[in-house]
Amino acid sequence: MTKTHHSASSSTTLPRLIVFGATRGTGRELVQDALTRGHRVTAFGRSIERLSDLEHHPGLTLVRGDVTDKAAVRAAIKGHDVVLSALGASAFSRAQLREVGTQNIVDAMEASGGGRLISLSVLGAGESWDELPFHIKHIVVPLYLKRAYADHNAQEDVIRRSSLSWVIVRPPFLTNADATGRYQHGKLSELSSPTMKVSRADVAHFMLEQARSDQYLGGAPAISY
């Protein structure tokens, strides 16, 4: 078990980032935190006007596009060192947006020579299903999140089949609370009394740490308080 804290870095060594799902939730937190750290950031999304308060930031490039558009994704990814995906969809959506969008991202990255992908998923996806509390596995997910979990599982399968360097980040339920910089990460069963919630801001902080850390390459750490 480890905890991470924000640390300043030289802007000359920072990778150039592109964020998919950038206009709301964890994606927006990624954009804001990355700009604060001094990264050059491209924010890709269908509703980039949601980032109008940041549009004049000298480190930010806004790209309007749909992650289901293969050509748009491929064009946007060129020239970036690290790709961060915070794709999301309604809990009852049948569109499999995470799977489809992630496949387009992976294809575009592989066509451009590879690189590092850091993707938001959910605690309970893949082999972490067995680590969920009973009531979440047998009540919450079947009643409310069945399609969302299927989409997350398919998304993770796409990433695992790829030739990329990747990290999958699995938070439990997300909140809009402020960043604390004090969170646990790793295998859920090895964390100390983990809670089933964490703020989007802290998840974004952890995802950005993976842009230059090799600790979890090819892995899927949980994050929790």
Q: How does pLDDT run across 33-91, given as a tens digit for each residue?
A: 999 999 999 999 999 999 999 999 999 999 999 999 999 999 999 999 999 999 998 87
Residue 1 pLDDT class (50, 70, 90 cuts)? very low
Which residue do the tokens 């929790």 mark?
Answer: 224
d(CA 115, CA 96): 24
Give the closest residue to 115 by CA, choosing from 167, 64, 71.
167
Fold of 11-224: Rossmann fold (3.40.50)
CA 70 to chain centre: 19
Q: Quote the pTM value.
A: 0.91
Residue 2 pLDDT class (50, 70, 90 cuts)? very low
Mean pLDDT for all residues in the chain: 92
Provide the residue ranges of all domains of the chain, joining segments of one domain with +. Answer: 11-224
